[in-house]
Copies of this chain bind each other. A is one copy, B any other.
Amino acid sequence: MANDDRSVRRVRDLGEQGILQCLYQFCPADLVGDDAATIALTPDLGDSLVVTTDVLVDGVHFSDRTTSPEDAGWRAVAANLSDLAAMGATPIAITVGLALTGETRLCWVEGLYRGMVACLDRYRTAIAGGDVCRSSVNTVSITAFGRADGARIWRRDAARPGDAIVVTGWHGASRAGLELLLDPDRGKALSADDRADLIRAHQRPKPRLDVREALRGAIAENENDSQTRSYAAMDSSDGLADAIVQIARASGVGARLERSQLPQPDSLGQLATPEQALNWVLYGGEDFELVLCLPPAIARSLLSRLNAEARIVGEVTREPGVYLTGTPGSCREQQLSLKKGFQHF
C-alpha cells in the first residue's frame, strides 16, 4: 500500500538478476549466491549436503531444431552436475519434475530420460524420483544434490589478490557447435573430426567432477600455502567472462587476463573471425568448465593433474574491474562485463 509503484512492477521490468536479488530476501544469506547451496548435515561440519536446481523450458533452453530429446536430457543433467562440481561436491542423486503438454510424444519423454541417465551413469548417479503434471509448455526442473566433506572451501567470494586464475578447459566450443547446428553450411573448411568435436561440445558437455580430486592432491602437495583458507570457484555455464566477473565482484577484487592464454580450440579460427571467436570464448557460455582462483603453487600443481587444455589465464588484482590484455588488433585493454551474456528476461 505504501509503495504503489512496487505493486505494478512486472517480472520483465526487473530482469533475471533483479528478480534473484528480490528473492534472496526470503533465503538465509549463507545459502544463496553460489552455484549451489551448502547445508551442514552434522554439527561438526564433517559432511555437507550441496543442492542446486535448474528449470528448463521448451523454446527457451532447448528446441527440437538443434537438440534431440537425448541431448536435452544430457545437457540438463550436465548443467546441474557442473554446479555441484563448482562447489567441490560429488553427486548423490537428482530429482526430475516434469510439466508436459498432452500432445507431447512419449518417445520424446523417453529420449529425454535416456539422455539424463546416460550422463548420470558416467558419474554413478541416479534419478531419485520426481513428479509429472500437465502444462501448456514442456518444462523440466532438475534438482541435483551432492555431498562435500570438510568445511566449505569452494566459494564464489574467496578470491584474493595474487591468486592465479585457472580455467579447466576449452571455451567457445559449445557456442561454435551451436552455430554449426543452426547453419550446416557454415565451417566447410573444418575437418570432419573438428566439426564433430565442436558439435559434441554443445550436445554432450562433461561436468568437471574430476577437478575435486585433482585439487585435493594439489592442496595436499602444497599444504603450507593453504591450511586455513577457502578458494574461489564457479562454473562457466553462463560464460567465462561472467564467471570471472562474478567471482571478482563477490570477492571485492579485480582480475587481469591474458588473451593468448584463454583456452580456445584451434578449429575456432577456421569458423570465425578472431573477434567473433574471442566473443564466443568469453561470452558463449555452456562450456561447463570450472574457473578457480588459487595460490600460484597450488594452481601449477592442479594444472599438472588436469588435461592439457587447463590453463592459468591471469591473476587476481587488488584493483577492481576485470581486464583483458593482448587483444589482437586493439592496443587498449578491454574491460569485461556481464552485459553481453544471456539474460532470461
Q: Which residues of A contact B (CB under 8 A)?
A: 6-14, 16, 19-20, 22-23, 26-28, 31-32, 36-37, 39, 41, 47, 49, 51-57, 59-61, 92-93, 95-107, 109-110, 113-114, 116-117, 126-137, 139, 141, 143, 145, 147, 344-345
Known: A11-B101, A22-B106, A137-B136. A126 touches B92 (CB 8 A): no
CB distance from A21 to the nearest CB of B (A): 11
Residue of B nearest to A117 (CB): B26
What residues on B are CB-neighbors of A51 within 8 Å? 93, 95, 128-129, 143, 145
A135 touching B53, Cβ below 8 Å? no
Contact residues in B for A54 (Cβ distance below 8 Å): 97, 131
Q: A10-B103, A105-B8 are in contact. Are A27 and B139 (CB under 8 A)?
A: no
Using Cβ atoms and an 8 Å threshold, which residues of chain B touch A132? 16, 19-20, 23, 55, 344
Complex contacts, A20 vs chain B, CB 8 Å: 132
Instruction: Indicate if the CB atoms of B114 and A26 lie closer than 8 Å.
Output: yes
Of B23, B49, B53, B135, which contacts A137 at CB under 8 A? B135
Assuming A41-B47, A53-B97, what are 20 further A-B pairs, CB within 8 angstroms? A7-B106, A9-B107, A10-B106, A11-B101, A13-B106, A23-B130, A26-B113, A26-B114, A26-B116, A26-B127, A37-B93, A49-B92, A51-B93, A51-B128, A51-B143, A52-B95, A57-B99, A97-B97, A97-B143, A135-B139
CB distance from A97 to the nearest CB of B (A): 4
